[in-house]
Amino acid sequence: MTTTETILKRAKAAAPALAAGSSAAKDAALERIAARLLAEQADILRANAEDMEAARNALSPSMLDRLKLDPERIAGMAQGIREVRELPDPVGRVLSRVERPNGLRIEKTAVPMGVIGIIYESRPNVTSDAAALALKAGSAVVLRGGRDAYRSNAAIVTAIHHGLEDAGLPADLVGLVEDTSRDSARAMMTAVGYIDLLIPRGGAGLIRSVTEHAKVPCIQTGTGICHIYVDASADQDMALTVIENAKTSRPSVCNAEEVLLVHRDIAEAFLPKLAKRLGADRSAAGLTPVELRLDGRAAAVIDGVPAGEADFDTEFLDYILAVAVVDDTDAAIAHIARHSTGHSDAILTRCEASADAFTRRVDSAAVYVNASTRFTDGGVFGLGCEMGISTQKLHARGPMGLEELTTYKYIVRGSGQIR
Amino acid sequence: MTTTETILKRAKAAAPALAAGSSAAKDAALERIAARLLAEQADILRANAEDMEAARNALSPSMLDRLKLDPERIAGMAQGIREVRELPDPVGRVLSRVERPNGLRIEKTAVPMGVIGIIYESRPNVTSDAAALALKAGSAVVLRGGRDAYRSNAAIVTAIHHGLEDAGLPADLVGLVEDTSRDSARAMMTAVGYIDLLIPRGGAGLIRSVTEHAKVPCIQTGTGICHIYVDASADQDMALTVIENAKTSRPSVCNAEEVLLVHRDIAEAFLPKLAKRLGADRSAAGLTPVELRLDGRAAAVIDGVPAGEADFDTEFLDYILAVAVVDDTDAAIAHIARHSTGHSDAILTRCEASADAFTRRVDSAAVYVNASTRFTDGGVFGLGCEMGISTQKLHARGPMGLEELTTYKYIVRGSGQIR
């Protein structure tokens, strides 16, 4: 087995070859990689079948479905790489330009990070997506995927290596960590001098581990305890539609709603409609109903499961919604300040003052007025792609696109100036 | 003694009052603070005299000079605050704006960090500078200065508190940590949930401690092992002038040159001129001569102290220069990749290809062609001010001004859109 340290060293040694390359060279390599993924589909499907067989008794049906590849999904991966290729090159942008009175010319210029590390647990298509984004951003990448998908990931990375070699670039630009134990994740978190940016993509446990152990620069992603607050003045029909969408259109993702706050003045009118819309109506339509976990004030109006204190701090990722009644917009903002993970929070209101207070004072990556939290996404926000959704404030906040995967340097040209 | 935890909690509780304030309110507070610094000068000077007396036998003359305040220096601090007040407000800038086909309006908007922590060792004027920059950027600030300056810092912070109160803002917006032991620095590094950005300003020991212990988001600053490479084609007279400036104009600062690399083709002609310029010429002029620490190839040409391996990895901050002869630009770039701290590195050359290779491949915050490394500075780079010089790649690189002290959020306005 190649050690994680060796893979990191090789990536660091390979990175300058890519950083020095032109936009055209990077795009040509991405095209070769997409072609190789398609050409080596049989190998990838064979490896994936082995992963599926090994995981058959260990994973739930929905997890098995995430793991599974088929020709259509591989075509989607190749198409994803081609879409990344079509995006503008984030490297070399001149972010600002100053000429000083003494003749010094100072250009702040976007440059690659160097080596980007990614720890992920999920689907094998993340392997090709993340590699394509990092390469387009001019950086080498070291991927540490989950154990269940290892054979699939290895076959995908083999195809990527062939594509890089077809394009005359070193295969070491994309490294796959062979050790899928906790040790390798720790090794990446502490690889000072080898990893310029580490992006953990996964659940709350991974994020906690990174906070605890990481010594390399990190961007934390993906934990979303997202709130929707229904103000007294809200259009209640719109509110029902937005809440159902935010909760049920894809409950397993980080921008799904987990907590609903309702202004006390409308609680008696609105909560029964909510219970019907998310409960009986969905059951009647053959859809999964949403379990409501109610604080004391909400439970005084409708039936539901009494909420424990933890329910307002839990990312359910399921058909479960915690519901509380609050006194007003200030109380909603205060609740969100205590419980939000800073991902996406929304107010539904017809009052401009409430909307302004909410957008100004809620300290989250995305703050919505009268829309579903489900829109927090790199594509929707105009970034063209997405490496993850940052819930921290440093460097990148919210969806991260190619620009967020670069850094910058100042290039200063003179003619002998001294200070 | 108020605990560090209490000071952090108070700052976090106070921060929203400032974040919600207008530009005019912030500027008015800065003016009140400047006025209070001047009005309370006698108290500040008295406290400083006590610090000076206590440190008289413990500190070197140059350290004592850094600690000392006088009416002129306090006037300079007040003037510095007024200059910060005059800068454009970094908060509220709309960084990008997208309208989606479905009518969603998405604005990426600069917002305050929240609470900024600063650990510093140096002069008491950092106390007022850092507080002014953080407040202008809309954030509360918790300051942890050195023990030797504690009484001075406390008197300055008292004046700042009075200025904040004069302006109707909570004094807790600026906290001074009372415990000046290592414990309080550790407490700040691990204050997850209380500090949104920690900026350590100090020597290599502090930076190492932060890398080892910090769990809050940090920007590492200030360690500069800066290189100048003299290419074969360089204008040698210009090179002598630039090198003398970069090394001797202020040897104690992070953008001073520490290492000189010379192309082998000019070593025999150039090194004797260098030895004369930095040695005999300076002595004759009554200036401190520079001690040269020479690798084997340089020592074959001129006299000097033989360099140990550590000399190419040391921030001397003194009249000492490590000198090596290299084969060519590639070798210079490779040396810099191994030994630079990523702060500021320069090439002196008349060859455009060498200049391009150097600026493209040297991975430092500031990369110079034909100019002194001493220009790496927020004012020079057009930022208007400076909180420190970042040597990391995440969030801010090189001089940090007000914009680098903010983060952003996405504000999304709709009319009931769902996904």
Looking at residue B121, what is its pLDDT? Answer: 83
Best mutation target among B105, B375, B392 (most A Cβ atoms within 10 Å) is B375
User: Which chain B positions have a beta carbon within 8 Å of A397's beta carbon?
Assistant: 407-410
Residue with tokens 């109506």: A281
Tokens describing residue B10: 């108070």
Q: Which residues pair with B344 in a beta bridge?
A: B366
Looking at residue B206, what is its pLDDT? Answer: 87
Residues 6+ apart with CB under 8 A from B356: none
pLDDT digits (tens, 9 = 90+) for B347-358: 999 999 999 999
In percent, the amount of chain B with pLDDT more than 90 equals: 89
The sheet with strand B105-112 has its strands ordered as A305-306, A291-294, A320-326, A257-263, A226-230, A344-348, A366-371, B406-417, B105-112, B94-99
Looking at residue A385, what is its pLDDT? Answer: 87
Element (H, E) at A124: none
Q: What is the pLDDT along chain A (419 residues), one digit of tens a residue?
A: 899 999 999 999 999 999 888 999 999 999 999 999 999 999 999 999 999 999 999 988 888 998 999 999 999 999 999 999 999 999 999 999 999 999 999 999 999 999 999 999 878 999 999 999 999 999 999 999 999 999 999 999 999 999 999 999 999 999 999 999 989 999 999 999 999 999 998 888 888 888 889 999 999 887 899 999 999 999 999 999 999 999 999 998 999 999 999 999 999 999 999 999 999 999 999 999 999 999 999 999 999 999 998 999 999 999 999 999 999 999 999 999 999 999 999 999 999 999 999 999 999 999 999 999 999 999 899 888 899 999 999 999 999 999 999 999 999 999 999 99
Q: Output the CA torsion sign for A9, A15, A17, A18.
A: positive
Which among A180, A179, A178, A198 has a CA at the least distance from the CA of A188?
Answer: A198
Tokens describing residue B122: 């140096």
User: How far apart are the two ends of chain A, measured CA to CA in Å?
Assistant: 54
Which amino acid makes up residue A365? A
Q: Which residue of B has its CA nearest to A107?
A: B381
Residues 6+ apart with CB under 8 A from A153: A124, A127, A143, A145, A176
Residue with tokens 């060293």: A9
pLDDT digits (tens, 9 = 90+) for B272-328: 999 999 999 999 999 999 999 999 999 999 999 999 989 999 999 999 999 999 999
Looking at residue A223, what is its pLDDT? Answer: 86
Looking at residue B157, what is its pLDDT? Answer: 98
Domain-by-domain residue ranges, chain A? Answer: 4-220+392-413, 226-375
- Burial of residue B26 (CB within 10 Å: 0-12, 13-18, 19+) is buried
Measured CA to CA, the distance from residue B93 to residue B88 in angstroms comes to: 10
User: Which chain A positions have a beta carbon within 8 Å of B411's beta carbon?
Assistant: 359, 366-367, 369
Query: Per-residue DSSP letters for A150-198?
Result: HHHHHHHHHHHHHHHHHTT--GGGEEE-S--SHHHHHHHHT-TTT-SEE
Q: Are strands A257-263 and A366-371 parallel, antiparallel or unpaired?
A: unpaired
Q: How many CB pairs under 8 A join A and B?
A: 195
Please judge whether A215 and B212 are an interchain contact, meaning their C-beta atoms are less than 8 angstroms apart.
Answer: yes
CATH number for the segment(s) A4-220+392-413: 3.40.605.10
Measured CA to CA, the distance from residue A283 to residue A290 in angstroms comes to: 9
Residue B205 has pLDDT above 90, yes or no: no
Looking at residue B34, what is its pLDDT? Answer: 98
CATH superfamily, with its number, for domain B226-375? Aldehyde Dehydrogenase; Chain A, domain 2 (3.40.309.10)
Question: If you average pLDDT over every residue of chain B, what do you get?
Answer: 95
Compare B233 and A253 and report the one with higher pLDDT: B233
pLDDT digits (tens, 9 = 90+) for B84-124: 999 999 999 999 999 999 999 999 999 999 999 999 987 89
Looking at residue B123, what is its pLDDT? Answer: 86
- B191 Cα to chain A: minimum distance (Å): 12
Candidate from B113, B215, B409 with C-beta closest to A366: B409
- B43 Cα to chain A: minimum distance (Å): 36
Please judge whether B393 and A241 are an interchain contact, meaning their C-beta atoms are less than 8 angstroms apart.
Answer: no
Measured CA to CA, the distance from residue A128 to residue B214 in angstroms comes to: 33
The pLDDT of B229-252, averaged and rounded, is 97
Measured CA to CA, the distance from residue B27 to residue B394 in angstroms comes to: 29
Please judge whether B370 and A217 are an interchain contact, meaning their C-beta atoms are less than 8 angstroms apart.
Answer: no
Residue B222 has pLDDT above 80, yes or no: no
pLDDT digits (tens, 9 = 90+) for B41-56: 999 999 999 999 999 9
3-state DSSP assignment of residue B54: helix
User: Which chain B positions have a beta carbon within 8 Å of A101's beta carbon?
Assistant: none
Please judge whether A392 and B197 are an interchain contact, meaning their C-beta atoms are less than 8 angstroms apart.
Answer: no
Strands (E), A41-104: 94-99
Please judge whether B104 and A375 are an interchain contact, meaning their C-beta atoms are less than 8 angstroms apart.
Answer: yes
Looking at residue B5, what is its pLDDT? Answer: 96
Candidate from A238, A364, A372 with C-beta closest to B419: A372
Quote helix, strand, coil % in chain A, to nearest 5. 45, 20, 30
User: Which chain A positions have a beta carbon within 8 Å of B393's beta carbon?
Assistant: 113-114, 196-197, 217, 407
- A274 Cα to chain B: minimum distance (Å): 16
Looking at residue A315, what is its pLDDT? Answer: 94
